[in-house]
Chain A
Amino acid sequence: MTDLIIKNLSKKYRETIAVENLDLKVKDKEFVVLVGPSGCGKTTVLNSIAGLIEIDKGEIWFGDELVTSPKDDIFKIPQKREVAMVFQDYAIYPHMSVFGNIAFPLEIRKIGKFEIEERVKKIAQLLKIDHLLDRRPKELSGGQRQRIALGRAMVRGPKLFLMDEPLANLDAKLRVHARVELKKLQQELGVTTIFVTHDQVEAMTIGDKIAVMNNGHLEQMGMPIELYHNPRNKFVAGFIGSPPMNMLDGSLVEKNGNIEIDLGISSIFRLSKKMKELVKRTTPLEISLGVRPENITIIEKNQPNSLKAKIVYIELVGKEFNVHLKVGGGSLIAIRSFVEDLKVGDEVWLSFDEEKIHIFDRESSKALL
């Protein structure tokens, strides 16, 4: 139950940079998800917080206690950090019973037998595994093992929960269920939690805040809704959301006092006055136009400011359809709830909800809107 502050963290493995100049602030009781493609450095950050690895540069603070700072020669060993960690493979000891596994951290702390029993039982009841305490881990299902791992983490009331893809090994249905339960538990216990995943859907649903990482850098941190609607750069825009944001390469052209986006092959998208004001500040020529699948409207007739497209494929995804389209040299996906009027091969026109488009500088990939 503490804040977590990471300042300027860098870590190299031989010549490979795992994390570079990362700053992260997590408030007390907050649930923060570190998300990014594999190899982006998120597990390195988690292991640095736990003290399982030493870092090259930077500081890690638990509240007002400095736990890691190579500059000042400070490194608190993991045994003394009072954090708890849940691993992807759960790390449940096969030679101990469920009770033994959950009681392990307490036994190490030489807590009395009676108290151990009481605390393990309480946690087991909370996790609904109290009927399994005498069993051996190998007799249990994936979901049950995951709960044991959670139980072992919760039983000693740590300052911080660290979770390394704890739901990755569950099947899809169970994962959705476990997600909700985990979130509820965390709110009940009020323990600051750092949760690592590569699954952006998981990140969106479970986190109070999401920190998107890529190539050892923190790309953006914020509430899920913020990241979804206001991605700071092209990477975040493409990573958050499923299907991902559509990107069309084009150039900004000023014509008769208006700003237009030339998408090539006579596809031009004209911005309104209001938008013009927003974009004006910087005017790089080469840009990417980003638009989310749900903000594309498919129309049958040409209208002002619409793009000609061809339907390539229609995909049924539950209650909605993903309509795959070809526009000039690029391709787009639009979401629609009905497709009776469309068929593959049709020529259609697309209009975008102007309020919801994104423009990125193609060189720096930063958002211009």
Chain B
Amino acid sequence: MRIPRPSRIILYILLMFFAILALLPLWSCVVTALKTSKEVILSTPITPPLHPTLVPLMKALDYLKKPLVNSLVLVGSGVMVSSFFGSLLGYFFSKRKFRGSIVLFILIILCLYIPAQVQLIPMVRVASILGLHGNLGSLVLLYMLFGIPMCTFIFKTIYDEIPDSFINAAKIDGAGTWLIYQRIILPLSVIPFIVASLLQITIIWNDFIWGLVLTAGKANLPVTVAMANLKGSFVAEWNLQMAGALWVALPPLIIFVFLGKYIIRGYSGT
């Protein structure tokens, strides 16, 4: 057997150390979620449970059932609508350029950089004018609209790779704008649809602030906000909160494990 060089050994020890450091919160979350309320108080957050129990997990799930469904509705509607419009806009910005289209594209991309904090009050006003404040509809609408710039960007960058000759050939063959989109662009859009959906799913699922300000009442809350409410009013029930966090983290975790490579493609813009 070859003996690794000392520098390698040191490197691996360091890497291991940082990996443990990074995984510590997850470990703490899992072990705490498996403890009874009494054990949470008596042990440190990283000691494994002596008497593991599933009660906190079940209780949290019961509480988060409706919010989980809410978040699924938000993700589903947001992903479908924004990626559809993103794809259409991406097609126009990439293949049907018109006078001023670059400026318009830059303006749309700039929307990505407006911090949510400055939009909070205007959006609450808009939601109440529309009569949607407090209920889930306001969030549905918001995520649909706010997802469009990101999706437009993804679709445009990927559509830029489709040769213009495809479009020109289709035009000469007699296809109009809409038919070209349907027959040529859409079938070549599997990758951007996956990339855009994954990014949208993560963003919408993990979002907290909009759910907090725009919705009220347990029936309307998205899962992140409902999870924060698990804390309890008088006593901090850490095991319940950690169990809730596990449920909330589970869907994005599964997506990252299986489809992570597409998310990387999305960020690198290819």
Q: Which of A83, A84, A91, A152 contacts B163 (CB 8 A)?
A: A91
Docked complex: A63-105 residues within 8 A CB-CB of B: 77-81, 83-85, 87-91, 93-95, 104-105
Complex CA distance for A77 and B165, rounded to whole angstroms: 16
Q: A93-B184, A95-B187 are in contact. Are A79 and B176 (CB under 8 A)?
A: yes
Complex CA distance for A90 and B166, rounded to whole angstroms: 9
B174 at the A interface (CB under 8 A): yes
A173 at the B interface (CB under 8 A): no
Give the total number of A-B pairs whose CB atoms are below 8 A apart: 54
Q: Are A87 and B179 in contact (CB under 8 A)?
A: no
A interface, size bucket: 20 to 34
B73 at the A interface (CB under 8 A): no
With CB as the reference atom, state the residue of chain B lying closest to A87: B165
Docked complex: A41-75 residues within 8 A CB-CB of B: 50-52
B128 at the A interface (CB under 8 A): no
B144-168 vs A, CB cutoff 8 Å, 1 = contact: the mask equals: 0000000000000000000101101
List residues of chain B with CB within 8 A of the CB of A162.
Answer: 172
Q: Are A152 and B173 in contact (CB under 8 A)?
A: yes
B65 at the A interface (CB under 8 A): no
Q: How many residues of B contact A (CB 8 A)?
A: 17
Q: Are A78 and B171 in contact (CB under 8 A)?
A: yes
B249 at the A interface (CB under 8 A): no
Q: Are A52 and B173 in contact (CB under 8 A)?
A: no
B169 at the A interface (CB under 8 A): yes
Q: Are A52 and B175 in contact (CB under 8 A)?
A: no
Q: Which of B163, B166, B174, B187 contacts A105 (CB 8 A)?
A: B174
List residues of chain B with CB within 8 A of the CB of A80.
Answer: 174
List residues of chain A with CB within 8 A of the CB of B16.
Answer: none
List residues of chain B with CB within 8 A of the CB of A278.
Answer: none
Known: A91-B163, A108-B179. 17 other contacts (CB 8 A): A52-B172, A78-B172, A79-B176, A80-B174, A81-B172, A83-B172, A84-B173, A85-B169, A85-B172, A87-B165, A88-B165, A89-B163, A89-B165, A91-B165, A93-B166, A104-B170, A156-B173
**The 6 nearest A-B residue pairs measured at CB:** A105-B173, A91-B169, A91-B165, A87-B165, A95-B187, A108-B174
Sample 17 A-B pairs with CB under 8 A, ordered by A number. A51-B172, A52-B168, A78-B171, A79-B172, A84-B173, A87-B165, A87-B169, A89-B165, A91-B163, A91-B165, A91-B168, A93-B166, A94-B188, A95-B187, A104-B183, A105-B174, A108-B179
